[in-house]
Structure 1
């Protein structure tokens, strides 16, 4: 009997110990779920962008979530996309990733993205976003992407002192532009700063094409990929105008980063630069004031048009419990007034939300916002193919090659380049 009592007592002690362990394990599991990490793949690694990533991290952690940074620098996001593909193929995607344009639909087609439609409905995104941008963020009618900002690509940045030195006004037409460029060259100032990198050449050509042909031509060529338009007379004229710029650039452009080209305009070595509004951040860091030290004007012929580039995030389906809460918290934060204001003040872009006050923003941002709204109303709002917003990566890469080769090849004609663009549009 004694041994039975001893066995029963031992069993009770063992049961109590196991129960305590199970309770501790459950508590630990619950705390792990509540504090589940949100791994964020992004390429905001410099200046104001990095500052904004830190702000988003702080805001997310205030909601009880944990941010795990997965920053991949370089390549304008290309390196980040390579890292993302590797992780998804391995069955271990990050919780959130910075991607944009048609790539959103491509990932959604693979059934790997989390719907954030409930967050969008709660936040009235359909009312706050222009339809041209909302449609990019949706898949089969549901939001899977959260937009952060709107960049205007078709800007021309001008050193105000250089313009005064040659007694010129900001050019409104291409004829005006080349007259100003001639005057700057005569004064010993490089007229156009550019970096000899494929995306910079493509972006400049895109802006020239919009200025020469207008939004209707742009849509037919780059949205519809219409063969006759791609190799037609307006495209040939756009290519000829683009090639004319080469004589007004410097020899040191090969491999130059965009911000180094912007620095040439800031310090007066160059007079003008075609670049998206992320260039404004460089002027701001250098203590320059818009309207006084530099001018931001729409590129010649594009005053009523607006090529847009939108940063956004998607959220991948992950197996770890509790992560979905953090993902949806982050989606809501990206569209929150506080983040939209702080992020865009840092980055040089404008808020994608249409209901925010721009009281804290500078004149360039206010002009960008006004032009964005008027272009949306008039049909002049178009996505930037040079910045991943429109064509497939394969077609974009093929366009890059055609434009880059044409830029450096003295013997290639505009007619030949136009024919190659038409072929490139068929790339799978």
Structure 2
């Protein structure tokens, strides 16, 4: 090789080295706080990590075990107070606005506008991702909460039909009792009591009543005749559970339905993962149907990542890439196939999803158009956490205390709704 070629090769090598160094310098790091530490959720988090790494960025996992995220929030608060916030944290519902009011969340409108999020999300969901009109979080998925899970073989054995109203539910429950089958699998934990309560409220009162009573916390609605009927029905439901329900985890209740020990369960669509893991097929081995009376409404639970203010430009770029990828079609499909939820992004192809997910996706769109897509109060989507906790406590007290009257429960719920 002559000197000219040697010099040319040397110049090219130096240029390539400079480009690589520049790319490395431009690569950022995202530290992501989440509690997806088991099963399909962990697989989905790993897929998001891989996607980000392909873009040249670094992923720093900040996983805190604990299904409800309480432990994660405790850790997050200490990190933010010390001025060392992560790039993104799994936060949802009104808690997003609570964090935004502290002035610690980043404005990611540039990503949202470039990716047309306003067009890809139902307004009630996109509004929840914003603070003062600006996006501060990226939504990941949608869980439907108002589901009834049914063992069709148990119903057949009892000579009962699939219930679509609460009267039909009680008729089916009576038939199951006579057949020696527990009508309703339930776990006596306050969040499970509250999940049942909100499905009864939606089924008895409809979406408008639900919004007034459990989202707007209207005192006249809470103390009115429809809430009286809701509480009476809710208490009647307890008579169809078994004496061993107190303290039972939700997945153990689901297992009772899978085994045919119980006929039905009121639970969000994360219960489907238990059926699938047991090798059961939707529509054949188990049935997913809206909770009685709630077929034309949809209580949603949306997971999302809040984006925190960062100083390093490369890390900000990586953070924006994370927000973009969360809403990208590939991740929306992959994550929700793993988790049992449905994509929050509208217009997604659902051919890889099962019948329950397809039905949920259709109802998600239809109820959004009809104004019957409502946030789940039991799962942190509707009211501030202090109010949610106060109402949840009253609901569980009423469920467990046979001496508490309906009127007393209504009065206590109205007082809890005023919690600051």
Q: Same fold (TM over 0.5)?
A: yes
Category of TM-score, reference length = shorter chain? over 0.9
1:17-416 to structure 2, matched below 5 A, reads 33-416=25-408
Structure 1 residues 412 and 83, CA, compared in 2 at 3 Å: closer, same or farther?
same
**Structure 2 match to 1:18:** none
Aligned to 1:385, the other structure's residue is in SS state coil
Query: Are the aligned partners of 2:28 and 2:316 in contact in 1 as well (CA < 8 Å)?
Result: no
Structure 1 residues 29 and 112, CA, compared in 2 at 3 Å: closer, same or farther?
farther
User: For the residues of structure 2 that align with 1:27 and 1:376, how far apart are their CA atoms?
Assistant: 48
Structure 1 residues 394 and 338, CA, compared in 2 at 3 Å: closer, same or farther?
same
Look at both structures and tell me which one has the larger radius of gyration over its CA atoms.
1
Aligned to 2:349, the other structure's residue is in SS state coil
Deviates more, 1:306-315 or 1:27-36: 27-36
**Structure 1 match to 2:12:** none
Aligned residue pairs, count: 403
Aligned to 1:41, the other structure's residue is in SS state strand
Give, in angstroms, the shift of residue 46 of structure 1: 2.2
Normalised by the size of structure 2, how large is the TM-score? 0.93
Structure 1 residues 119 and 271, CA, compared in 2 at 3 Å: closer, same or farther?
same
User: For the residues of structure 2 that align with 1:112 and 1:395, how far apart are their CA atoms?
Assistant: 23
Aligned to 2:269, the other structure's residue is in SS state coil
User: For the residues of structure 2 that align with 1:54 and 1:281, how far apart are their CA atoms?
Assistant: 19
Query: Are the aligned partners of 1:155 and 1:274 in contact in 2 as well (CA < 8 Å)?
Result: yes
Normalised by the size of structure 1, how large is the TM-score? 0.91
Deviates more, 1:53-62 or 1:70-79: 70-79
User: For the residues of structure 2 that align with 1:36 and 1:128, how far apart are their CA atoms?
Assistant: 27
**Structure 2 match to 1:23:** none
Query: Are the aligned partners of 1:37 and 1:68 in contact in 2 as well (CA < 8 Å)?
Result: yes
Give, in angstroms, the shift of residue 30 of structure 1: 6.7
- Runs of 5+ unmatched residues, structure 1: 1-25
Query: Are the aligned partners of 1:33 and 1:321 in contact in 2 as well (CA < 8 Å)?
Result: no
User: For the residues of structure 1 that align with 2:326 and 2:379, how far apart are their CA atoms?
Assistant: 21
